[in-house]
Amino acid sequence: MSFKILFMGTPEFSVPILKSIFESKHKILGVYTQPPKRKNRGQKILNSPVHEISKKLEIPVRHPNSLEGIEELNHIKKLNPDIVVVVAYGKILPSKLLNFENTLFINIHASLLPRWRGAAPIQRAIMNMDEETGISVMKIVPKLDAGPVLMQSKIKISKDLNCKELGEKMSKLGAKLIIDALNLIENSNPVFKDQNESEVSYAKKIQKNESKIDWNEEASKVVAKINAFFPNPGCWFDLNGARIKVIKAKEVINDGKPGTILDKKFTIACSHNSVQILELKKEGKQKLTTEEFLKGNEISIGQNLT
């Protein structure tokens, strides 16, 4: 048996999961994604990653501003999907849609629910220095990421793993798990287990004002935030009036007044231990190693960056 599936997703994270379903025996009726947006200085209009891969795979794509309108509800009802698979779509599905008969709505969420419900589960797990995270396949209900869970799979978080790298690993895991979930739904009466509400935590959306480095934090937390915010929005500090975006850094055992440059290796003191900058990017410039950067930019030992 093959299912008729409607896919909803937007970022790069969703792409491997869409491709996995496309390459399976199941039929994708269409794709919903976020509308094209203006990005970068040239304000070029760009389609979402899911939009682009859908065009290449010749899957019909729709990108409405809202799913609340009667036009979209009627369109989905006419498609009559067996299952709607949602992966980082970026919109809340209206109750009218979730009430469609004979359609199962499932979500691939990038955390071990009920931990890190919400918009930024990968970033918050790294920032919190969690030792593991994972993928959850859950039934969608009107409350955010609160539906019962069908299956989960864990993945370790190493200290040097950034958001981009962890996201890629989790996306590949999600691509496998969605097929496992579809097989389970097809071959048995799937058991969706309610989440434990006493263990809920929320991964709120990343705000731009979070991205400035606070050297008064412990070095381990600063490095975790740098990893969590790569590539976007990125962590930064001010050096001689210029914004410096940190690409890669590590914790070192070295103490000093928080925010003070301790040596010519660009080691900066925190409240506990220090952070050594390994790769960085000056505003408007290319990414450089610290060694390359220091050939053309002076820093002074004892200079304070706070």
Q: What is the DSSP string of 65-84?
A: S-S-SHHHHHHHHHH--SEE
- Contact in structure between 175 and 146 (CB atoms under 8 Å): no
Q: What is the pLDDT of residue 45?
A: 87
What are the φ and ψ backbone dihedral angles of 192, each rounded to 5 degrees? Answer: -100, 120
Q: Which segments in the chain show pLDDT lower than 50? A: none
Contacts of 71 (CB under 8 A, 6+ apart): 64
Residue 110, exposed/middle/buried by CB under 10 A (0-12, 13-18, 19+)?
buried
- Contact in structure between 305 and 215 (CB atoms under 8 Å): yes
Q: What is the pLDDT of residue 42?
A: 62
Q: What is the pLDDT of residue 44?
A: 83
What separation in angstroms does the CA of 101 have from each of 76, 98, 142? 12, 8, 15
Q: Where are the alpha helices (DSSP H) in the chain?
A: 15-22, 49-56, 70-79, 95-98, 121-127, 163-187, 219-228, 290-296
Strand (E) positions, the chain?
Answer: 4-9, 27-32, 37-39, 44-46, 61-62, 83-87, 104-109, 117-118, 132-139, 149-156, 202-203, 235-239, 242-252, 267-269, 274-282, 287-289
Q: What is the pLDDT of residue 41?
A: 63
In sequence order, the β-bridge partners of residue 287 are 281
Domains of the chain listed by start with CATH number: 4-203 (3.40.50.170), 210-296 (3.10.25.10)
Q: What is the pLDDT of residue 1?
A: 81
Q: What is the pLDDT of residue 116?
A: 98
Specify the pTM.
0.95
- Contact in structure between 208 and 169 (CB atoms under 8 Å): no
